[in-house]
Structure 1
Amino acid sequence: MKIVDVCAFYTPSGGGVRTYVDRKLVAFAERGHEMVVVAPGERDGEERRGPNARIRWVRSPRFPLDRSYRYFSDRSALHRVLDEENPDLVEVSSPWRSASMVADWKSERGARARLALIAHADPLAAYAYRWFGGVATTQTIDRAFDWYWRHLRRLDQRFDMIVSASDSLSERLREGGLQKVLTDPMGVEPGQFSPVLRDMTLRREMLALCGLPEDAMLLIGVGRHAPEKRWPMIAQAATMAGAQAPVGLVIVGGGSRQRPVIEAIDGNPHVRLLEPTTDRAALARMMASADALIHGCEAETFCFVAAEAIASGLPLIAPDRGGAADLARKSGGVLYRSSDALAASEAILSVARNSRTPRAAAPVRTMDDHFDALLALYANEDLVRREGSCR
């Protein structure tokens, strides 16, 4: 099978999307398929990743709201690339302009390719619910943004399947009127994260960085400094919890929106910001050496870092909505009311009161499990005619 992934958010400097796509290129090729990622780039070009794996860059302008990304602006150029590749199946990982462009390509060309829209993002949860959640219910916000749901329903009619990464997102999409939703949860890199990587010397060093002794609780948070990640709220929660018990927090991540996080820390020596790392082995050691992972974003569709924490033997402290919440419920983690610093601090203290003896890793779905299920879904045309789940 030849598969083309039209991936609007793939960028050389990206985080989770780049990690996922790079792994997919290798995994699909290893399983005998040809995989081509089409991404917006600084210039037209092609990058080989193996005998059956390539990235094709389409010259595209920078995205005005985040200059680290680019966006597909030339409909004809994208259609020309799809014509040249002539795939069996086209994946689209953004519900916006690129999805409509791909749907137009098939309808105008009468192309044979089947179309799969991959729900990697939940824009309403990331933006609208966060902006207006303090003054309106989710149902009210959904009604105000009915134009978005109408857009998704139109895509649902034009695509062969909508693939969601979590049960909670699948439920929301079906409630919004989509009829071709299939659930295929993502997973962690096999063999990368494990409790056996726990390093007590590293743990002491991280706690010392937070100005705390080794009998304190060590929290870790991982993610870029973006508003939807809610790091200022997490920093406030750690500070409130620290008034009742010794709690240190290290946040591994970067980005241009760091100032609100620094302001929320407000000089608290027990909360430290660490630079992002591309060294996955080092991150796995840090994660296994903490006592719990805390997450603030309720807009995750899957939440890689939460799955990685489970694989590392850590309990999760997560908001009560989104992909992180799904993983916390399944692994016995602690949930708190989304966007509520006081509720998050109480969740931290709840975990702190329990033994911090490292746990065995809970069974965690791997990325290879995810890819095998996804390919099985693509091979089974009957699945697009009914609701389903790839477990």
Structure 2
Amino acid sequence: MRIVDVCAFYSPQGGGVRTYVEQKLRIGPALGHEIVILAPGDEDAVIERDPGARIVTLKSPRFPLDRKYWYFNEAPRLHAALDALAPDFVEATSPWRSAGLVADWASPTPRSLVMHADPLSAYAYRWLGDVFSRQTIDRQFSMFWQHLRRNSRRYDYVVCANSDLSRRLDEGGVSRTVTIPMGVEANRFSPLHRDPALRARLLADCDLPESAALLLAIGRLAPEKRWPLVIDAVSMASQQSPIGLVMLGEGREQRTILRHIAGNPHVRLYEPERDRAAFARIMASADGLVHGCEAETFCMTAAEARASGVPVIVPDAGGAADHARGGAGRTYAAADVHAAAEAIRSVVRERPRPAATARTMDEHFGDLFAAYEARLRHRRAA
């Protein structure tokens, strides 16, 4: 198949979508498929990758709220690009405007809407959840629900990476939802990468001895990630035993988070580690990974921690919670700093080393593309 991913939020500067795209470009051709990423950018361009993999960009405006990204602003140009690419299957990988643009494309080509974002959890529930019930919030955001329901009827699949999101969408009347969990990069993460000397250096950076616990917090510096809650929870837990927190991330909330750290010598914020081998060593060398976001569609970093034999401390809602199952970590009541602190204390006290288990991205794409092939065969037979 030639699969075209209309990827509105791809940025070469990083992020979870970029990681997903890079693995799709590598794994898709190995499975016998041609992969084309169709993304907005500064100019019209074609970036060839390995045989059977390329990125095509359409000149588009920068996204005003985050200048690392662009957005499709001309439906006719997007539709013309799809006509020229002639895909066997097309994906829209953002639930926002591009979902409607792809749904409007006048072609019988089968298509899927891949939910790389959970906007209601990331924004509406987070902003208003302390005041209103979810049912009330859903009524107030009925236009977005209508947008999802309307578009879902024009897609063959609405693909979710966790069962909680699939359930909520299904209960909200969104048609054709399927759960196809993502996974980690194959043969990358392992407890064998644990490096005591690296762990000691990271704790020293936090002005702590090797006897202290080392926690990681990894991800974009964005409001929905709730990094201030994570910092506060670690500070509360560290009143009973010493804990160093190493944060790896970048984003528009960097100044806010640095102000929240307020010079605490036991908390360090660094840029992301882009060397994947070095990153795998850092992950395996920690005593736990702590996360604050209840709006994750999958939570790649928690999956990578699980594959590294590192316990996770995650909210009990959203995709992150899946990675704590089977004794692989602790969940806490989402958005509750005291519950998070107690979960951290439990992990630091027990220092568990859970078995390293993880689904791989090869398995994810194998299942995803098999679903596409089945739908394509059904369409052709009909």
Q: Same fold (TM over 0.5)?
A: yes
In the alignment, residue 375 of structure 1 is paired with which amino acid? Answer: F
Instruction: Report whether the alignment pairs 1:374 with 2:355.
Output: no
Deviation at 1:51, TM superposition (A): 2.0
Aligned position for 1:22: 22
The answer to whether the 8 Å contact 1:89/1:113 transfers is yes
- SS at 1:221 equivalent: strand
For 2:376 and 2:252, the matched residues in 1 are separated by 45
**Cα deviations across residues 129-162 of structure 1 (Å, max 9, x unaligned)?**
1111111122221111111111111011111111
**Residue 384 of structure 1, CA deviation:** 9.1
The CA deviation at 1:284 is 0.7
Unmatched segments (≥5 aa) in structure 1: 386-391
What is the CA–CA distance in structure 1 between the aligned matches of 2:325 and 2:138, rounded to whole Å?
A: 25
Q: Distance in 2 between matches of 1:327 and 1:55?
A: 31
Out of 344, 360, 369, the position equivalent to 2:355 is 360
Question: 1:150-229 to 2 correspondence within 5 Å?
Answer: 150-229=146-225
1:278 to 274, 277, 280: 274
Spell out, residue by residue over 1:272-311, the C-alpha distance to the aligned partner (whole angstroms, 9 max, x if none).
1112121111111011000000000111000000000000
- For 2:49, the equivalent position in structure 1 comes to 49
Deviation at residue 50 of structure 1 after TM alignment = 2.1
State the alpha-carbon separation in 1 of the partners of residues 31 and 321 from structure 2. 32
When structure 1 is superposed on structure 2, of 30-39 and 329-338 the one drifting more is 329-338
2:39 aligns with: 39
Aligned mates of 1:182, 1:224 — CA distance in 2? 27
Distance across 2 between alignment mates of 1:222 and 1:245: 22
Equivalent residue letter for 2:293: C
- Residues 328, 354 of structure 2: 8 Å contact kept: no
| TM score, norm. by length of structure 2 | 0.96
Could you say what the CA RMSD is over the residues aligned between the two structures, in angstroms?
1.5
1:259 aligns with 2:255: yes
* Equivalent in the alignment of 2:109: 113
Measure the CA separation in 2 of the matches of 1:14 and 1:258: 16
Q: Is the 8 A contact 1:195 1:359 kept in 2?
A: no
- Within-5 A mapping of 1:116-135: 116-135=112-131
- Contact kept, 8 Å, 1:239 with 1:268, in 2: the verdict is no
> By how many angstroms is 1:381 displaced?
2.2
- Paired with 1:232 and 1:383, the residues of 2 have a C-alpha distance of 49
Question: Structure 1 CA distance, aligned partners of 2:138 and 2:325?
Answer: 25
User: Structure 1 stretch 211-220 or stretch 308-317: which is displaced more?
Assistant: 211-220
Residue 388 (structure 1) aligns with: none
* d(CA) in 2 for partners of 1:332, 1:200: 21
Q: Write the distance in 2 (CA, Å) between the matches of 1:80 and 1:233.
A: 46
Q: Identity over the aligned pairs, expressed in percent?
A: 56
How far did residue 74 of structure 1 move?
1.0
Q: One-letter code of the match for 1:381?
A: R
Per-residue deviation, residues 66-95 of structure 1 (Å, max 9, x unmatched): 111000001111011001011111000011
Q: TM-score, normalised by structure 1?
A: 0.94
Aligned residue identity for 2:344: I
Between the two proteins, the alignment pairs up a number of residues equal to 379
Structure 2 contact 110–375 (Cα < 8 Å) conserved: no
- Separation (CA, whole Å) in 1 of partners of 2:54 and 2:29: 10
Partner of 1:143: 139
* 376-385 or 323-332: bigger deviation: 376-385
Tell me if the contact between 1:10 and 1:18 (Cα under 8 Å) persists in the aligned partners. yes
CA shift, 1:44, in A, is: 0.5
Aligned counterpart, 1:5: 5
Q: d(CA) in 2 for partners of 1:104 and 1:256?
A: 33
Alpha-carbon distance between aligned partners in 1 of 2:346 and 2:377, rounded to the nearest angstrom: 43
Report the equivalent of 1:96: 96
User: Structure 2: where are the runs of 5+ without partners?
Assistant: none
CA distance in 2, matches of 1:331, 1:35: 37
Deviations 1:311-332 (A, max 9, x none): 0101110011100012212453
Answer yes or no: is the 8 Å Cα contact 2:183–2:303 preserved in 1: yes
Residue pair 2:287, 2:351 contacting (<8 A) in 1 also: no
Moved over 4 A (4+): 382-385
- Take 2:260 and 2:315, find their aligned partners in 1: how far apart are those partners? 19
Secondary structure at the counterpart of residue 380 of structure 1: helix
Q: SS where residue 20 of structure 1 aligns?
A: helix
- Aligned equivalents of 1:236 and 1:133: distance in 2? 20
Contact 2:110–2:376 (CA under 8 A) maintained in structure 1: no
Correspondence 1:327 to 2:323: yes
